[in-house]
Amino acid sequence: MRVGNYWHMLPKAVQARRSLWEAIDPKRGKNIVDLSFPDEICTSKRDHEMMVKLRCGSTWQVVGSDSYEHLLGAPPLGIVFSEFAMADPQCWPVLEPILMENNGWAIFISTPRGKNAFHRIFELAKKEPKWYAEEIRADQTGVFTAEQLDDIKRGLIAFYGSEEQGTSLFQQEYMVDWESAILGAYYAEQIRRMQAEGRITPIPIDRGVRVHTSWDLGRTNATAIWFWQCVGRERRAIDYYESSGAGLDHYATVLHDKRHEHKWVYGEHYLPHDIKITELTTNLSRQATLESLGVAPINVVKEHNILDGINAVQRMMDRTWIDPVRCARGLEALKAYRKEWDDTLHDWKKSAYPDWSNHGADAFRYFAAGYDDPVGVRETTDRHRQRFGSSGGRTHWSA
């Protein structure tokens, strides 16, 4: 094998540490990493970085897809994506060209989580001669007997207290069932109906209808923006943008560029309540900063119970259309957005599982809670009109 950097990537870095870096082989009672990389072939093992340095000059590192952007300084030659169906799908479009430039390789290992990015990669691999794809059910591996699989299925049904949930998880985890819904997914039923009714489809932009936006503002993590047109009772998600590590001026420029590209006119911008917090570095709120950049008028969505907001989304989805091309990542976020399981209480928590999908799902929720089904009283700021007037131009895109 060529000398270089090699990664084993799990969905989250904390998961990578727990399930691999610190894992003990139950049969031999020793650390899995130590068994795989004995001291004789290593020069060092760095616990903080979860990295093994080998005497041949290569490195092997355990990483998470939730922090892939921080790893790009040491380009890999090979990556094993473990449980890719639960990973941040954006990591692959970023890492693929790096591997291609280095003549590297990638391996994807996962059980299904619906027909998401992993399913699309698997279908591609089945068709492309340069790829290799294999699908193996648990009853084809020889690892489990038929009796053991029956016991596992009954155990899952008993554990969840639901034949539907237990069977769905068994089919997904053991029988490679791509059709099983993600357990705990908030919007699985709504998205299924949208697909059945043909409401996830390319949407022409109506230049006679104003475009609203709804945001989830990140600080150290991602910022997500949905772009909406409302025609009668229809809510049309026509575009989506997400990025991280950028300032507010970047997102203002994105809005400006999209306006010029699509020749649309902005309506209102829906943002979460914490936009009103004053920044210590500038002595301005993020709301004031965005308004100074021309993002106006801003509707501040009142703080609300997240479950109330999720209910508002579920109601709105019955008349929502989503463009699957321009909104591809946002749609993936809605599909992946799910409840968190409480291992102690053996029940679902009242909170969402914290991962990459939260950003797109939260931005979607702010529109449902603010525009479509207001939770409490939303606050529409008028001072932008006093400061900027109603004339057009670079600093006032709503006009």
- pLDDT on residue 182: 81
Question: Rounded to an integer, what distance in angstroms lies between the CA atom of residue 173 and that of residue 98?
Answer: 31
User: Is residue 227 a contact partner of residue 240, using CB atoms and an 8 Å limit?
Assistant: yes
Question: Rounded to an integer, what distance in angstroms lies between the CA atom of residue 92 and that of residue 84?
Answer: 10
User: Which among 35, 61, 65 is positioned nearest to 49, based on CA atoms?
Assistant: 61
- pLDDT on residue 373: 65
Q: What is the DSSP string of 180-196?
A: SPPTTBTTHHHHHHHHH
Instruction: Give the bridge partners for 272, in sequence order.
Output: 301
- pLDDT on residue 375: 54
Most distant CA atoms of the chain, gap in Å? 74
- pLDDT on residue 344: 80
Other Cβ atoms within 10 Å of 300 Cβ, number? 20
- pLDDT on residue 399: 31
Question: β-strands 211-216, 266-272: how paired?
Answer: parallel
In degrees rounded to 5, what are phi and psi of residue 93? -60, -25
User: Is residue 203 a contact partner of residue 236, using CB atoms and an 8 Å limit?
Assistant: yes
Q: Which residues of the chain have pLDDT under 50?
A: 376-399
Is the whole-model pTM more than 0.85? Answer: no
Residues 6+ apart with CB under 8 A from 34: none
- pLDDT on residue 352: 93
User: Is residue 248 a contact partner of residue 290, using CB atoms and an 8 Å limit?
Assistant: yes
DSSP code of residue 394: T
- pLDDT on residue 348: 84
User: How open is the CA angle 242-231-379, to the nearest 5 degrees?
Assistant: 60
| Domains of the chain with bracketed CATH | 5-135 (3.40.50.300), 139-183 (no CATH), 196-388 (3.30.420.280)
Question: Rounded to an integer, what distance in angstroms lies between the CA atom of residue 175 and that of residue 115?
Answer: 15
